């Protein structure tokens, strides 16, 4: 079997978005509402997904997206802020995202992938400036060549559209690829249905299951079914990758 190329999602896969959010939340509220932090984070992320596509296809402005996700998300957690305050919160959050780092475990995952896979790449939705800045903060150039970085706003296609995965596979030489993401719902349903038949498998960090397509002929039959791989921590992802390499 050809050596696999492995692609990673960025947000909540290579790093945990809750870390910069928590720092911004603490800065903004000065210790207030600490008991609502986790609820607020989940709500803001969910509200952001609701308008993400509209913002990145020009239907609404990025500013409107930021106001909506922070103001509405915080309201879901019982916290009221104004539109101006939502934009100030976003500025704090963006600043904290400039200081994100890889965990030691994720470095081990990437080192293993660089050593054992044909190549490592990134497929991510978002603006070029924002996502490129995060990749630079994480030092991803150590593992990922520029030609294997696919940012939706740069290529004009967003996940989970099959086309962005096909672009990535073509850039990797057309051989079999893996995709690692944090959410089967957000990253994988369309991948599994439309793209995995093009010689791909997907490892999902959050739900911790390797899901190769059942019609994927290049993988052994033992991998032509979901493969559970432990807990939700990054250590579970490391185990997933190790197990895949055993086949």
| pLDDT band (50, 70, 90) for residue 247 | low
Please state the pTM of the whole predicted model: 0.83
Angle at 152 between CA 88 and CA 55, to 5 degrees: 40
Q: What is the pLDDT of residue 177?
A: 81
- pLDDT for residue 204 is more than 90: no
Report d(CA 146, CA 139) in Å as an integer: 12
How far from 136 is each of 14, 148, 149, 215, 247, CA to CA, in Å? 12, 14, 12, 37, 33
Largest CA distance in the chain: 56
- The predicted-structure confidence for 15-74, as pLDDT tens digits, reads as follows 999 999 999 999 999 999 999 999 999 999 999 999 999 999 999 999 999 999 999 999
End-to-end Cα, the chain, rounded Å = 10
């Amino acid at each position: 079997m050809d050596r696999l190329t492995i692609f990673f999602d960025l947000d909540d896969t290579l790093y945990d978005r809750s870390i910069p959010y928590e720092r911004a939340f603490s800065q903004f509220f000065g210790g207030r509402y600490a008991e609502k932090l986790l609820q607020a984070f989940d709500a803001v992320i969910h509200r952001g997904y609701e308008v993400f596509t509209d913002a990145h296809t020009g239907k609404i402005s990025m500013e409107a997206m930021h106001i909506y996700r922070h103001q509405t998300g915080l309201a879901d957690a019982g916290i009221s802020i104004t539109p101006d305050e939502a934009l100030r919160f976003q500025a704090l959050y963006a600043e904290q995202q400039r200081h994100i780092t890889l965990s030691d475990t994720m470095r081990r995952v990437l080192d293993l992938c660089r050593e054992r896979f044909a190549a490592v790449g990134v497929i991510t939705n978002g603006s070029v400036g924002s996502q490129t800045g995060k990749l630079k903060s994480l030092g991803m150039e150590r593992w990922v060549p520029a030609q294997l970085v696919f940012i939706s706003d740069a290529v004009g296609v967003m996940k989970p559209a099959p086309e962005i995965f096909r672009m990535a596979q073509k850039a990797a030489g057309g051989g079999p690829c893996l995709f690692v993401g944090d959410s089967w719902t957000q990253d994988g349903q369309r991948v599994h249905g439309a793209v995995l038949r093009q010689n791909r498998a997907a490892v999902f960090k959050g739900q911790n299951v390797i899901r190769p397509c059942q019609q994927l002929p290049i993988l052994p039959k033992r991998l032509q079914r979901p493969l559970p791989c432990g807990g939700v921590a990054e250590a579970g992802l490391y185990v997933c990758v190790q197990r895949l390499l055993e086949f």
